[in-house]
Structure 1
Amino acid sequence: MVSEEEIELVSKLMRIDIDNHKEHVEKVHAMIDYFDILDSAGVESEEISMPEISISNLRKDEYIPFDDKLIEKLNHYKGTYVRAPKMSS
Structure 2
Amino acid sequence: MVTEKEIEQVTKLMKIDVHDHKEFIDKVHAMIDYFDILDSAGVSDEEITMDAVSLSELREDEYVEYSDKLIERLNHYKGTYVRAPKMV
State the TM-score, normalizing by the size of structure 2.
0.78
Distance 1:73 1:22, change over 3 A: closer
The residue number in structure 2 matching 1:42 is: 42
Unaligned stretches of 5+ residues in structure 2? none
The size of the alignment, in residue pairs, is: 87
Contact 2:76–2:84 (Cα < 8 Å) also in 1? no
Q: CA RMSD of the aligned region, Å? A: 2.0
Contact 2:71–2:77 (Cα < 8 Å) also in 1? no
The residue number in structure 2 matching 1:26 is: 26
Unaligned stretches of 5+ residues in structure 1? none
Aligned counterparts of 2:11 and 2:83: Cα–Cα separation in 1: 19
User: 1:2-81 alignment to 2 at 5 Å?
Assistant: 2-74=2-74, 76-77=75-76, 79-80=78-79
Identity of aligned residues (%): 64
State the TM-score, normalizing by the size of structure 1.
0.77
Distance 1:78 1:15, change over 3 A: closer
